[in-house]
Structure 1
Amino acid sequence: MIAGLPAHILLVHAVVVFGPLAGLGAVVYGLAARTRNYLAWPLGVLTLMLAPLSLITAQAGEQLQAIRGATDAIQAHARQGDIFKYTAVVFFVVVALMLAATYAPLARRVPALAGLQESRPVRIALLAVGVLAGLFMIYQSIITGHSGSSSVWGG
Structure 2
Amino acid sequence: MSVIDGLPGHILLNHFVVVLGPLTAILAILCAVWSVARQRLIWLTLALAVATLILTPLTISSGDWLYVKLGSPPVVDQHGQLGATLVYIVAALAVTVTALAVIHLRQARGRTVKTAVRAVVAVLVVVAATGTLVQTYRVGETGARAAWGSVTASA
Q: TM-score range by the shorter chain?
A: 0.7 to 0.9
Q: Percent identity?
A: 28
Seen in structure 2, the aligned counterparts of structure 1 residues 126 and 8 have a Cα distance that, compared at 3 Å, is same
Counterpart in 1 of 2:135?
A: 140
Residues of 2 paired with 1:106 and 1:45: CA distance?
20
Q: 2, 5, 15: which is aligned to 2:4?
A: 2
Superposed structure 1 runs of 4+ greater than 3 Å apart? 105-108
Deviations 1:88-124 (A, max 9, x none): 11211111112212x136874xxxxx6xx53221111
In structure 2, the residue matched to 1:118 is 113
> In the aligned structure 1, how far is the partner of 2:67 from the partner of 2:113?
49
Q: Partners of 2:50 and 2:125 in 1: how far apart?
A: 15
- Counterparts of 1:23-102 in structure 2, within 5 Å, are 23-101=25-103
Matches of 1:152 and 1:50 in 2, distance apart? 23
Q: Once the 2 structures are TM-superposed, how far is the Cα of residue 3 of structure 1 from its aligned partner? A: 0.8
Count of residue pairs brought into register by the alignment:
147
TM-score, normalization by structure 1: 0.88
For 1:124 and 1:48, how far apart are their aligned partners in 2? 23
1:68 CA displacement: 0.8
Q: Structure 1's 64 and 107: CA in aligned 2 closer, same or farther, altered over 3 A?
A: farther
Partner of 2:145: 150
Compared CA separation, residues 121 and 106, structure 1 to 2 (3 A): closer
Residue 111 (structure 1) aligns with: none
Q: Aligned letter for 1:38?
A: R
CA pair 106-153 structure 1, distance change in 2 beyond 3 A = farther
Unaligned runs of at least 5 residues, structure 2: none
SS in 1 for 2:93: helix
Structure 1 gaps of 5+ residues are 109-113
Cα distance, 1:87 vs structure 2: 1.1
Give how far 1:49 is off.
0.2
CA contact (8 A) 1:100 1:107 kept: no
Q: TM-score, normalised by structure 2?
A: 0.88
Q: Is the 8 A contact 2:20 2:48 kept in 1?
A: yes
- Cα deviation for residue 9 of structure 1 reads 0.5
Supply the AA of the counterpart residue of 2:102: A
